[in-house]
Amino acid sequence: MIRVTVWNEYRHEKKNPKVAKIYPKGMHGAIAAYLNKQQGIKAMTATLDEPEHGLTEEVLAKTDVLTWWGHLAHGEVNDKIVDRVQKRVLEGMGLICLHSAHFSKIFRRLMGTSCILTWRETDDKERFWVTDPAHPITDGLPEYFELPHEEMYGEHFDIPNPDSQVFISWFTGGEVFRSGCAYHRGKGKVFYFRPGHETYPTYHDKTVLKVIANSVKWAAPINGPKLADGAWHDPIEKKRK
């Protein structure tokens, strides 16, 4: 059983009736509901305004994969919680960063780059092309899929070269974007997946949800080796005379 915590800033839904109508239980609610219908996945939720943003040591210790959506309030996320999440990722917890989480503290921390991109809100069509069809995240997908209306994110996207470039998006306005990017970081796996502007029903789209479920399965921790602890390490080979 993969234990997922679906984290959401959960501000747009409270402020903007249009968003609330699309996501009456929040984007986290929609994503968690879908994941809970998948065999082998159990999803909980957590949001910014809960104590410790809902990400206590106890919660993270029981989280196999964390999904993250943030936008308006990246700056309100406490640095100590970011430290805690980063530590857990390096220890093996999966992290799925969605849409505007490209600019979250945790994603920028793990990438080491600015994560700046270009953007535009004008009802562009987005078409996702699969560029790594061997990757488990593409399981059950067609060679491309579309969202009729989405915010545009365009290159240059300031990220490290992904370990696997899973999707590249085409936009009506003439842009391209590396929209599905997979990374190993420590013992953890990180996936950035672009779509999910709050004013569109993106997290009701079956293919988008399938990608999220696939990424959760891919990012689930393995029982990997103990990591180095930074301490003195005696020679394994005996000293020669």
Long-range CB contacts (within 8 A, 24+) of 55-60: 55/5, 55/7, 55/81, 55/84, 55/85, 57/84, 59/5, 60/5, 60/84, 60/85, 60/88, 60/93
Q: CB 115 → its own copies: shortest distance, Å?
A: 9
Tokens linked to 124: 């562009």
Amino acid sitting at position 91: E
Q: Which is nearer to its own copies, 33 or 199 (by Cβ)? A: 199
Pick between residue 29 and residue 186 the one whose CB is nearest to its own copies: 186
Closest by Cα among 69, 96, 70 to 213: 96
Closer to its own copies by CB, 22 or 106: give it: 106
Output the smallest distance, CB 119 to its own copies, in A: 6
Cα gap 221→224, rounded to integer Å? 8
Q: Residue 50 or 144: which CB sits closer to its own copies?
A: 144
> Closest CB to its own copies among 3 and 185?
185
**Tokens read off for 238:** 């005996």
CB of 25 to its own copies, least distance (A): 31
Q: How far is the CB of 141 from its own copies (least distance, A)?
A: 5
Q: How far is the CB of 111 from its own copies (least distance, A)?
A: 6
Residue 56 or 165: the one with the smaller Cβ distance to its own copies is 165
Using left for φ > 0, alpha for ψ between -120 and 50, and beta otherwise, residue 52 falls in left
Contact (CB, 8 A) for 33 and 40:
no
Q: Report, in Å, the least distance between residue 189 CB and its own copies.
A: 6
Return the number of the residue (27 or 82) whose C-beta is nearest its own copies. Answer: 82
Q: What DSSP string describes 70-125?
A: -STTGGGS-HHHHHHHHHHHHHT-EEEEEGGGGGSHHHHHHH-S----EEEEEEEE
For the CB of residue 49, give the shortest distance to its own copies in the complex, in Å. Answer: 26
Report how far residue 238's alpha carbon sits from residue 5's, in angstroms, rounded to the nearest whole number. 47
